[in-house]
């Protein structure tokens, strides 16, 4: 069964998808020579001096280019997100280098393990889904990934700065689907592993405080295994039929447009929509931003009982003591990393059986429309 595949086998299944993305990113890779300066070499990193900082980035500018360039590192291609989006660069202010990436987007409507964990009725989910977000990109870059900074970055989901960014951008916006202006409070952030079960996010605690809890595995529906060229042909076929789904990709027109296009094209051709089942289960996690987040999302209480969220600096100090500094003392292989290896690693991801060195969340939950 596909769920029993190891991580290298799953990476191999994504190889064609990743190659297509790199081919589409040629212009970005050309600009990479000016962006590589922000990637750290091992000699730039002093573990006990690491000082993470989150920077919210706009849709344009060199920071956006840097985000896109750095995300090419992962062997499982990153998603562009869905609906609302907030993207962050995580800097190490001790050296001015890029520690990792974080991006929040709209959650999918149907996610069985999340809905079961919350205890949602269909009505409550419609009302309060906007009070959740999904971390569709979440991962540390080399050499920080070797130092377990992926755990540190995941803990920052619960930071004061992330909640403030959501409140500033989406806290008092008119909803497209409901067509009314409502104050939204971020109660929960979900995320999912890209390579089956996650060793990075399991049991993510600091001094007894839970930052991520495991909800279970998805059933493995998605569209990464449908090449972009084939998807375009499916869309053209629906256009020839005059089908509404062919252009129904605006936010508010239903969950996961690509999934709907593929499903409808398969059905119209007399093929089974079960071809969307790739069978690679992904582990889903939740970060609750208040002690009564579940009750709030179920509509049992009107207000989140927010305890004082900690800053990025405070959480980072705890994570450095817990994971990063001890790892640096046990394993000093991070020192041998050279930023110029970044280009070679990106290219290696298109070759069979490429070895990778990090686990990044890459929008896998955003593919799961019926999981």
CA–CA distance, 65 with 32 (Å, rounded to integer)? 9
CA–CA distance, 17 with 337 (Å, rounded to integer)? 27
Q: Mean per-residue pLDDT for 265-287? A: 79
Per-residue model confidence (pLDDT) at position 293: 95
Tell me, what DSSP letter sits at residue 201? T
Residue-by-residue DSSP string for 312-328: HHHHHHHHIIIIIHHHH
Indicate whether 58 pLDDT > 80. Answer: yes
Q: Are 290 and 307 in contact (CB under 8 A)?
A: yes
Residue-by-residue DSSP string for 121-159: -HHHHHHHGGGEEEEEEEEEPTTGGGGTHHHHHHHGGGS
Q: Identify the CA nearest to 138 among candidates 221, 70, 45, 220.
A: 70
Structure tokens given for 16: 């064609």
Task: Enumerate residues 6+ apart whose C-beta is below 8 A from 79.
Answer: 105, 136, 137, 362, 363, 364, 366, 367
**How far out from the chain centre does Cα 290 lie?**
21
Average pLDDT taken over every residue of the chain: 81
**Is residue 338 exposed (0-12), middle (13-18) or buried (19+ Cβ within 10 Å)?**
middle
Percentage of the chain exceeding pLDDT 90 = 46
Q: Are 222 and 367 in contact (CB under 8 A)?
A: yes
Q: Mean per-residue pLDDT for 197-223? A: 82
Top-confidence residue, 166 or 253: 166
Per-residue model confidence (pLDDT) at position 160: 95
Grouping H, G, I as helix, E, B as strand and the rest as coil, residue 211 is strand
Indicate whether 82 pLDDT > 70. Answer: no
Per-residue model confidence (pLDDT) at position 267: 84
Top-confidence residue, 331 or 196: 331
Structure tokens given for 174: 């008119």
Per-residue model confidence (pLDDT) at position 307: 75
pLDDT in tens, 129-163: 999 999 999 999 999 999 999 999 999 999 999 99
């Amino acid at each position: 069964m596909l769920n029993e595949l190891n991580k290298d086998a799953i990476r191999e299944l994504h190889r064609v998808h990743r190659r297509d993305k790199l081919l589409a990113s040629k212009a970005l890779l050309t600009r990479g020579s000016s962006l590589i300066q922000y990637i750290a070499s091992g000699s730039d990193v002093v573990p006990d001096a690491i000082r993470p900082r989150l920077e919210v980035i706009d849709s344009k500018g060199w920071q956006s280019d840097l985000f896109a360039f750095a995300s090419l590192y992962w062997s499982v291609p990153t998603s562009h997100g869905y609906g609302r989006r907030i993207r962050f660069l995580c800097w190490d202010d001790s050296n001015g280098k890029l520690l990792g990436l974080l991006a929040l987007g709209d959650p999918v409507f149907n996610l069985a393990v999340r809905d079961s964990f919350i205890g949602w009725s269909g009505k409550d989910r419609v009302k309060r889904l906007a009070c959740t977000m999904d971390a569709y990109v979440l991962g540390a870059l080399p050499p920080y990934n070797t130092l377990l900074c992926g755990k540190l970055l995941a803990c920052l989901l619960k930071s004061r700065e992330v909640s403030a960014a959501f409140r500033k951008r989406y806290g008092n916006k008119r909803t497209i689907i409901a067509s009314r202006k409502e104050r939204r409070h971020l109660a929960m952030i979900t995320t999912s592993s890209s390579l089956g079960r996650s060793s990075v996010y399991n049991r993510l605690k600091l001094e007894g405080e839970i930052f991520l809890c495991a909800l279970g595995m998805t059933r493995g529906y998605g569209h990464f295994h449908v090449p972009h060229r084939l998807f375009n042909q499916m869309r053209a076929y629906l256009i020839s039929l005059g089908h509404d789904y062919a252009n129904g990709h605006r936010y508010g027109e239903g969950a996961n447009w690509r999934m709907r296009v593929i499903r409808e094209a398969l059905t119209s051709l007399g093929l089974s929509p079960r071809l969307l089942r790739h069978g690679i289960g992904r582990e889903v996690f939740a970060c609750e931003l208040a002690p009564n987040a579940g009750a709030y999302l179920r509509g049992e209480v009107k207000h989140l009982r927010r305890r004082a969220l900690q800053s990025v600096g405070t959480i980072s100090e705890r994570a450095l003591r817990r994971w990063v500094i001890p790892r640096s003392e046990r394993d000093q292989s991070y020192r041998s990393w050279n930023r110029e290896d970044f280009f070679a690693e990106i290219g290696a991801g298109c070759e069979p059986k490429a070895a990778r060195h990090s686990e990044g969340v890459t929008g896998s939950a955003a593919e799961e429309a019926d999981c």
